[in-house]
Amino acid sequence: MKENHKFLELLLQKFPPPESPEPAFSDADIQALENEFGTVLPEDYYAFLRAYGDGTFSTYFYVNHPFAESTETLAETNQQRKENYALLESDYFSDTYMVDGRFQNQEFIVTKGNPALAEFLRTEKIDAFTRSKIIALGNHYPYPFYPEQEDGLIFWGYTDDEEFFLRKNQDRISIVLYDYGYYEFNMSVTEFIYCWLTNQIRLPMQAEEPIDWEFIPFTGDETL
C-alpha cells in the first residue's frame, strides 16, 4: 500500500464515509480540471474526495471539492486567497515586524526576522511529534501562490479558524497552514487530515478539548 493511501485507510476506519459519496467524478474530469488549472494535484487528495465526497467533519473541518457545484473555479478560489493574504502580508513591511524559524533537534531556532518576536509563536506549546513534522513557521504570510510560482500555494481545505494549502516542490508535497501566521508541514493531504482529526497535530491556537469528529455529507441545501 502506498504511504499516502495508508492514511486514507486509517481515515476510513475511524471516520466512516457516506455509502454513496457525491459528486462522483472520472479520470477525464480530473484531466480537464488539471488542464484548466495548469498543474497536477496529489493522488491522495482525489482518493479522499472519491471516498468521502463533498461534506464536512462536524461542520468545522472542510476539504474543498473542486467538482462540487460552485460559483468559483479552483483558479478563482486560489486567486481570491492570494489577494487576501497579499493584503495581510503588506502589514509586515520589514524584518522588524516578522519572525521565521524552524525546529532543529526539537529546539526552535530563528532563521529570519526579529528574534524578540519568537516568544509570540508560543513554540513551547508544540509537542515533539508536531515539531518533527514542521518544516518552518512564522508570524506572517510569506508564500507566493500558484501560478505565480510553480511551488506556490494551492488551496485545498479549511476550518472555521485556519486555511490549508498544498505546496509542490518538485516531487515533495507539503502542507501550509495559515491562521495568525503560518506552519509548513512535511505531510501529504491525507496524513495531515488524519493527524489533525486524531489530535496528533497540536498547535498553540487549537482548543484543548478534542472534537468528536463525524463526517457529514452535503445535501445541496447548506448555506456556508
Asked whether residue 213 is assigned to any structural domain, the reply reads no
Instruction: Provide the residue range defining the domain that includes 155.
Output: 3-206
Residue 121 half-sphere exposure, CB side, CA atoms within 13 Å?
28
The total number of structural domains in the chain stands at: 1
Tens digit of pLDDT for each residue in 99-115? 999 999 999 999 999 99
Asked whether residue 69 is assigned to any structural domain, the reply reads yes
Asked whether residue 216 is assigned to any structural domain, the reply reads no
Asked whether residue 217 is assigned to any structural domain, the reply reads no
DSSP string, 7-40: HHHHHHHHSPPPSS-SS---HHHHHHHHHHHSSP
pTM: predicted TM-score of the whole model, two decimal places: 0.93
Asked whether residue 190 is assigned to any structural domain, the reply reads yes
Tens digit of pLDDT for each residue in 174-223? 999 999 999 999 999 999 999 999 999 999 987 777 789 999 999 865 54
Q: Is omega for the bond preceding 23 within 30 degrees of 0, making it cis?
A: yes
Asked whether residue 173 is assigned to any structural domain, the reply reads yes
